[in-house]
Amino acid sequence: MRRSEALLHDPPRKKAVVGVGISATNYEEVVDVIGDWVDERRRRATSPDSLPGRYICVTSVHGVISSVFDKQTRQVINGSDIATPDGMPLVWALRSFGVKHQTRVYGPDLMLAVCRRAAETGQRIFLYGGHDDTLTLLERNLLARFPRLYIAGKYSPPFRPLTDAESDAIVEQIRGCDAEVVFVGLSTPKQEHWMARHRGRLPGVVMLGVGAAFNFHAGTVRQAPQWMQRHGLEWLFRLLAEPRRLWKRYLLVTPLFLPLWAMQKMRILRYPEIGKSAS
């Protein structure tokens, strides 16, 4: 590959946080890396199948703890090209492990940053997840914010496992509309597993699992105030908003992160370093 065709930005390195590789990165770097991957795909437009599919996990404490207890989920997140620190506890953990200036890379804000760049450069995006009415509102709001954004397609999957025929159809839809960036708005770890399974079937496509960002930007679910987000209290806001759905996650699962983090910091638990990228 000639120097002019080389990627300008390497995927950020990952740091093991209780056995899960979290990328030491920021919004600008992630957007730049995505831009490199899309440019590479465009340069190889005649042979896109030679490129790997890429996927980015926007990783919360819930995702990390799910990975601790489920080997497959851990392998999926550790196999991602980038796994951003979506929650403040992960930011604090990375700082405690030597990543001094780490900041949060929050899924809804990352989605807007990627859409902003996509509107500027003509990247074709696809929206996968959510209800039909949510996707309609999301598309309308994104286009109001970014009038030049090219939304190549959207799909609301059923709330059950896809059949093989349905899975084949969605792959053909994404490939047929020549989407370059796919936002996946499912729950964790469902969206992470979906991206990992489809990586080999969507060569050159960049997938981002952004979770509740679809609902936030569609306006169907309120976001926590900025001060709560900055102080790591978004979980409390979401728990009060959706107690029946989220009480197990926030009261029984995510509190396990603190003792595990403390034991890693005290070297009671040790984890190997994790590669910066799966490709």
Q: What span, in angstroms and rounded, lies between the C-alpha atoms of 47 and 51? A: 8
pLDDT of residue 170: 94
Q: Which helix (H) or strand (E) holds 144?
A: helix 132-145
With respect to residue 245, please indicate whether it lies within any of the assigned structural domains. Answer: yes
pLDDT of residue 279: 37
Residues facing 124 on adjacent strands: 150
With respect to residue 217, please indicate whether it lies within any of the assigned structural domains. Answer: yes
With respect to residue 276, please indicate whether it lies within any of the assigned structural domains. Answer: no
Residue 6 pLDDT class (50, 70, 90 cuts)? low
Summarised one tens digit per residue, pLDDT across range 202-257 is 999 999 999 899 999 999 988 888 898 888 888 888 888 888 888 888 888 889 99
With respect to residue 95, please indicate whether it lies within any of the assigned structural domains. Answer: yes
With respect to residue 133, please indicate whether it lies within any of the assigned structural domains. Answer: yes
pLDDT of residue 275: 66
- Name the residue among 232, 218, 223, 193 with its Cα closest to residue 88: 232
Contact between 114 and 34 (Cβ < 8 Å): yes
With respect to residue 278, please indicate whether it lies within any of the assigned structural domains. Answer: no
What residue numbers bound the domain in which 249 lies?
A: 3-265
With respect to residue 272, please indicate whether it lies within any of the assigned structural domains. Answer: no
Sign of CA dihedral 220, 221, 226, 230: negative
- Whether the per-residue pLDDT at 46 is higher than 90: the answer is no
- Name the residue among 91, 77, 89 with its Cα closest to residue 24: 91
- Whether the per-residue pLDDT at 7 is higher than 70: the answer is no
Question: How many domains would you assign to the chain?
Answer: 1
pLDDT of residue 248: 84
Mean pLDDT for 69-76 is 96
For the question of whether the overall pTM of this predicted structure is more than 0.85, the answer is yes
CA dihedral 153, 161, 18, 224 (to 10 degrees): 50
- Name the residue among 89, 91, 83, 88 with its Cα closest to residue 67: 83
Contact between 254 and 61 (Cβ < 8 Å): yes
With respect to residue 274, please indicate whether it lies within any of the assigned structural domains. Answer: no
pLDDT of residue 244: 87
Q: Which of 43-57, 62-76, 162-176 has the lowest mean pLDDT?
A: 43-57
Q: What is the chain's mean pLDDT, rounded? A: 91
Summarised one tens digit per residue, pLDDT across range 8-23 is 778 899 999 999 999 9
